Amino acid sequence: MKKITTTFADAWRRSRSQTIYNHVATHLMGMSSQSVSYAGHPMYRGLGGAACAIGCLIPAIAYEKAMEGRTVSELIRQFPIAAGRLSGISHRMLVDLQLIHDHAPNWGPGGLTRDAMIRLQRVGRNYYLDTEVLRKINDIREAAHDKKRNQKLAAHSAPEKVG
C-alpha cells in the first residue's frame, strides 16, 4: 500500500484555497447582480462598488482602474498587490470562479441562478473543497425569502379596519 504524505505547503495551499473559495462563494451568492460597467461588461469593480469573484479578493485600497480588462494571469503579473492576495491559489480555480461571475446567463433578477450555484458547487468539488458554505448560505437566503413571503401573506390577509 502506498503511503500518502501531505507537506505543510500542501496543507497551507488547501486551507488557503478553502478560505478563498468560501469568501468568493459567499460574496457571489450575496450579490443581486453582476459587477459591470455602464456598457454591461464584467468588471473587477463595477457600478455601485460591486466587485466580481476576483475583485472581491482585492482590497479597495489596492484596486486600480488599470486592472480592468486584464485577465487573471495579467492581473497577477502586472499588479504585485493582487499577486500577493492571490498567491498560493490554483490559477485555474480563480479563472473558474471568475467565469461564473462573468457569464451573464448565470445572473437572474435575484442574483445567481440555480445553474450558477450548481457550477459554484462543481468548482468546489473539482478542487476537493468543502462546499458546505453553499448550503448554509442557501438556507439563509431561503429563510429570508420565506419571511418576506409570510409578511406579504399576513399583510394581504389582515382584516380591514372599519371605522
- Residue 146 inside a domain? The answer is no
Which pLDDT value is given to residue 142? 79
Which pLDDT value is given to residue 12? 67
Which residues span the domain enclosing 16?
A: 8-131
Residues written for the chain:
163
Which pLDDT value is given to residue 17? 92
What is the distance between the alpha carbons of residues 92 and 77, in angstroms, rounded to a whole number? Answer: 15
pLDDT in tens, 74-121: 999 999 888 888 888 899 999 999 999 999 999 999 899 999 999 999
Going residue by residue through the chain (163 aa), what tens digit of pLDDT does each one get?
Answer: 555 566 766 776 778 899 999 999 999 999 999 999 999 999 999 999 899 999 999 998 899 999 999 999 999 999 988 888 888 889 999 999 999 999 999 999 989 999 999 999 999 999 999 999 998 888 887 787 778 778 878 887 766 666 5
- Residue 86 inside a domain? The answer is yes
- Residue 3 inside a domain? The answer is no
Paired residues of 95 in beta bridges: none
pTM score of the predicted model: 0.81
- Residue 162 inside a domain? The answer is no
Which pLDDT value is given to residue 4? 58
Name 44's Cβ contacts closer than 8 Å, sequence gap at least 6: 35, 51, 52, 54, 55, 58, 63, 67, 68, 75
- Residue 35 inside a domain? The answer is yes
Which pLDDT value is given to residue 34? 96
Which pLDDT value is given to residue 158? 62
Q: How many domains does the chain have?
A: 1
- Residue 32 inside a domain? The answer is yes
What is the distance between the alpha carbons of residues 60 and 49, in angstroms, rounded to a whole number? Answer: 9
